[in-house]
């Protein structure tokens, strides 16, 4: 089912070609939704779904799109998909839709979407594009989960809203790091991930 090329398309974005830590796309939403783990995961899933379907649709109609309005066409497809996802969440999972509020709408502005549509879907078939969308979506979601986990653990002492740092630590003088909740620490956490990732992948290092 998966040829060698398919596998590369699907798995490369996990590490060697990760949209967040290698291509440095979608940083804005990494800041916005990772103060807690749960919205980070739902955001990751939503972006993966929208990206995969947008890639397929654009790939299907790629031969008909006039070059000079291709960006507009891509935006319209993405915006329509995002609205549909938002409406479906409101109808069938109202709780999650409330928790994510504006962030679902902001998927439209995620640079990974435009990046993949422009760089991949416009020049590849639907099946490859679907895999590319899923791969990049998961690559993005992985980073969100790691950052969300670190920030929620150190910033609120919880994971998924459950207290994991025991009360005895607080009694001994441990305090939650309020700075972790604020956006700058998301950037610093991402930077640390990039640091570790590059030191393990020599070929990514610039000379």
Q: Does 156 bind another protein (CB under 8 A)?
A: yes
Alpha-carbon distance values, 35 to 40, 47, 98, 183 (Å): 8, 18, 16, 8
Query: Residue 156, Cβ neighbours under 10 Å: how many?
Result: 20
Site string for another protein, 97-116 (x = CB under 8 A): -x--xx--------------
Contact with another protein (CB under 8 A) among 2, 28, 71, 76: 76
Nearer to another protein, 87 or 123 (CB): 87
Return the residues of window 177-196 that contact another protein according to CB under 8 A.
178, 181
What's the N-to-C CA distance of the chain in angstroms?
39
> Distance (Å, rounded) from C-alpha 20 to C-alpha 38?
19
Which of 69, 71, 188, 196 contacts another protein by CB under 8 A?
A: 69
Is 181 in contact with 150 (CB distance < 8 Å)? no
- Minimum Å gap between C-beta 66 and another protein is 4
175 near another protein, rule: CB under 8 A: no
Q: Is 90 in the site for another protein (CB under 8 A)?
A: yes
**CA atoms of 51 and 46, how far apart (whole Å):** 8
88 binds another protein (CB under 8 A): yes
Please answer whether residues 131 and 35 qualify as being in contact, where contact means their C-beta atoms are separated by less than 8 angstroms: no
∠ CA(116), CA(121), CA(126), 5° rounding?
130
Residue 60 Cβ vs another protein, minimum distance, rounded to whole Å: 13
d(CA 147, CA 32): 11
For residues 161 and 166, which CB has a smaller minimum distance to another protein in the complex? 161
* Closest of 68, 72, 74 to residue 54, by C-alpha: 74
155 binds another protein (CB under 8 A): yes
Residue of the chain from 52, 54, 73, 144 that contacts another protein (CB under 8 A):
73
By the rule CB under 8 A, 67 interacts with another protein: yes
Give the footprint of another protein on this chain (CB under 8 A). 35-36, 39, 64-69, 72-73, 76-77, 80, 83-84, 87-88, 90-92, 94-95, 98, 101-102, 155-156, 178, 181
């Amino acid at each position: 089912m998966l040829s060698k090329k398919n596998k590369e398309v699907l798995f490369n974005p996990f590490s060697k070609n990760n949209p967040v830590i290698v291509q440095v796309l979608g940083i804005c939403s990494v800041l916005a939704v990772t103060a807690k783990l749960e919205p980070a995961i739902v955001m990751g899933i939503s972006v993966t779904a929208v990206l995969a379907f947008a890639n397929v649709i654009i790939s299907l109609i790629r031969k008909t799109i006039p070059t000079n309005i291709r960006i507009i066409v891509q935006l319209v497809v993405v915006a329509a998909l995002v609205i549909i996802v938002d409406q479906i969440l409101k109808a069938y999972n109202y709780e999650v839709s409330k928790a994510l509020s504006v962030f679902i709408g902001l998927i439209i502005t995620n640079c990974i979407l435009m990046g993949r549509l422009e760089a991949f879907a416009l020049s590849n078939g639907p099946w490859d594009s679907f895999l590319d969308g899923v791969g990049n979506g998961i690559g993005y979601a992985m980073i969100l989960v790691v950052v969300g986990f670190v920030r929620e653990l150190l910033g609120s002492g919880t994971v998924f809203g459950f207290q994991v740092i025991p009360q005895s630590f607080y009694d001994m003088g441990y305090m939650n790091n309020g700075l972790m909740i604020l956006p700058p620490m998301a950037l610093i956490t991402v930077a640390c991930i990039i640091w570790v990732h590059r030191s393990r992948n020599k070929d990514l290092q610039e000379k």
